[in-house]
Amino acid sequence: MKVLVTGGAGYIGSHAVRELRDAGHDIAVLDDLSRGHRQSVPPEVPLVRGDLGDAASLARALAGTDAVIHFAGLLSVADSVADPASYYRTNVVKGLALLEAMQAAGVRDIVFSSTCAVYGIPVRVPIDEDHPKDPINPYGATKLAFERALDDLSRAGRLRAVALRYFNAAGCHPDGSLGEDHRPEEHLIPRAIDAALGRAEPLHIHGADYDTPDGTCIRDYIHVQDLARAHVLALGLVSAGPAADRPAFQAFNLGTGVGRSVQEVLQAVERIVGKPVPARVGPRRPGDPPRLVAAPERGRRILGFESKDIALEGIVESAVRWRRDHPQGYGTGS
């Protein structure tokens, strides 16, 4: 199958490209490289460098395509609060441009990179796919808006779609060739590693007075390689088409079902690095729920997806190896 991966030069997108290629699919990537890295795309995979909202780039990238996996978008909660218009423009308006270009090219199947931020503050944990959707920031709101567009277009017979709602993506490719290189870095595990290695200021912990066993927030960390495998499975599901018991649009939570606190993450980093993680505790960050843990049963039952690596140490070890070997991200390597 020929698959276009938008945002395929980014963190999760590049891992999915590698997994799709290894599964035998014919891959092309559309990425403007504003946040992605050319070095993360295999040299044999065609890369169309272009903006998601540019009709000419979309037409060129979609030529001959059978399906789309859509990663391209903005993903910082803090940035979305500071500049919500850019998130609506990129995640919704440009996303709709992609859907229109797909229809013009006769491409019906799409797998969408969504987020657990669509749920907002949870009213129950673990969180299943039927949990109320009440996002508390523009990032989650724009992801949910695009999901609703997919649902509506699927009901109208225009598309067949799957949305994958990630919990906390973490780790790096097992062979050390792909990693996490954000500028600036906002994710806990790479920031903790850099602090332990003396490459960054002490880690700032946002609150240690939550109603959790050690007072810090609990999150569901899923290995990025597991996420990549889930996209291959979702592509197979969506391309199979609807069935009597399967609607044209479906959404799945991608998590392990196991929650880890901030303190547990820091302890794992310290064990792997062999050095303490300098950290200081500050006030809570507005809108941070105490617990975010997935109920992964629907994905296991329908997608056939189950996380292979739920051990926090395995996730952290892969991230430590990448950051030690690539102190400047994709700019350098051992």
Please give the Cα distance from 249 to 238 (Å, whole number): 8
Concatenate the DSSP letters of all residues of 60-106 into one string: HHHTT-SEEEE--S---HHHHHH-HHHHIIIIIIHHHHHHHHHHHHT
Distance CA 66, CA 4 (A): 8
Is 321:176 a contact under the CB 8 Å cutoff?
yes
Task: Name the residues annotated as catalytic.
Answer: 139
Q: What are 36-41's contacts with CB under 8 Å, separation 24+?
A: 36/7, 36/8, 36/9, 36/10, 37/9, 37/10, 37/181, 37/329, 37/330, 38/9, 39/330, 40/9, 40/10, 40/14, 40/178, 40/330, 41/8, 41/9, 41/14, 41/17
The three-class DSSP label of residue 330 is: helix
Whether residue 276 has a cis bond before it, omega within 30° of 0: no
Question: For the chain, how are helix, strand and coil distributed in percent, rounded to 5?
Answer: 40, 20, 40
Strand pairing category for 218-219 and 260-261:
antiparallel
